[in-house]
Amino acid sequence: MLARLTAVAAAVACLAAGCSGTAQPQPSSSPGVPTLRPQVLAEIPHDQGAFTQGLELVDGVLYEGTGLEGRSELRATDPADGSVQERTQLPSEFFGEGITVVGDRIWQITWQNGVAIERDRSTLAERRRVTYAGEGWGICHDGTRLVMSDGTDKLTFRDPTTFAATGEVRVRDAQGPVVKLNELECVNGAVYANIWETDRIVRIDPASGSVTAVVDLTGLLPEGERTGADVLNGIAAVPGTDEFIVTGKLWPKLYRVRFATSG
């Protein structure tokens, strides 16, 4: 927790100073697990003031949750040009984290506040709050249940109506536990997870917790455009395609990509 607090403080200081992000250690690929690379299909402007924590594309609207105390928001944006169409702020004491759409609702979790906010999808207005134990990092909906990360190797399954925990799985690769699971995206029976402080995403089988692929996005945001940018974070599947929209905290761009076998 202290390490993340320090990193967040450094990110805020970096934003103020206009410095560029620092390269972080990358998780190694597992033997027998494919490494994928992004094929960039389009670059889309992104508000560089957005400390991106959650990203999800539904019915032509790109929903984005942002973080930092006093600056956390939920936004509805245009995926074609990145413009913000609607936004609502969290209470100043909340540090926003992941988001996910469930029908006509949106769940937005918080980092250390232990509060999940259920919102009306059409207006972004708060409908109710529920509490949970531990930290909140990422969340997605697989069509039946919620899947939530807390920065460890654990994914917790939750009821999409009550938010009650219904089970969990530990994520593993050939080297052992895969920790720092952050922003999540559920798609086609798999869970994609950003690994915090790296330029990688892992694809997870939620039934076993096994990593089935590693996506290496090193260099996606060119070094010359990293001034003020922080770590990779944000995955949104493009419905009806094999494409994704990805970005990072304080990044100037969103990227529409396809994940393909490297080499």
| CATH placement of domain 35-261 | 2.120.10.30
Q: Are 172 and 211 contacting, i.e. CB atoms less than 8 angstroms apart? A: yes
What is the spatial distance between Cα 80 and Cα 173, in angstroms, rounded to a whole number?
A: 36
**What's residue 27's pLDDT?**
46
Neighbour tally for 147: CB within 10 Å: 25
Spatial strand order in the sheet of 139-141: 139-141, 146-149, 154-158, 165-170
- Give the pairing type, strands 211-216 and 35-45: parallel
Paired strand residues for 54: 65
Q: What are the two backbone dihedrals, phi and then psi, of residue 16, each rounded to the nearest 5 degrees?
A: -65, -35
Predicted confidence at residue 189, as pLDDT, reads 96
Count of residues making up the chain:
263
pLDDT computed for residue 29 by the predictor: 54
Q: Are 73 and 88 in contact (CB under 8 A)?
A: yes
Domain boundaries, the chain: 35-261
Output the six-digit token pair for 134: 């531990």
Cβ atoms 243, 257 nearer than 8 A: yes
Closest CA to 109 of 159, 72, 71: 72
Q: What are the C-alpha distances in Å from 165 to residues 74, 75, 185?
A: 24, 27, 18
Looking at residue 11, what is its pLDDT?
52
Query: Which pTM does this prediction carry?
Result: 0.89
Buried b (16+ CB within 10 A) or exposed e, 27-60: bebbeebbebbbeeeeebebbbebbbbbbbbbee
Distance CA 29, CA 178 (A): 11
**C-alpha span between 35 and 46 (Å, rounded):** 27
pLDDT given for residue 261 in this prediction: 84
The H-or-E segment that residue 85 falls in is strand 84-89
Q: What pLDDT sits at residue 32?
A: 78
- Please name the helix (run of DSSP H) or strand (run of DSSP E) that holds residue 2, with its range, or none: helix 2-17
Cβ atoms of 136 and 117 within 8 Å: the answer is: no
Q: Which two tokens stand for residue 140?
A: 């997605």
Q: Name which of 121, 71, 120, 125 is nearest 94 in CA terms.
A: 71
Instruction: Give 12: exposed, middle or buried? Use CB within 10 Å, 0-12, 13-18, 19+.
Output: middle
Could you tell me the mean pLDDT of each successive run of 10 residues in the chain, 263 residues long? Answer: 49 43 46 90 96 97 96 96 96 96 97 97 97 97 97 98 98 96 97 96 98 96 90 96 97 96 68
Phi, psi torsion values for 234, nearest 5 degrees? 130, 115
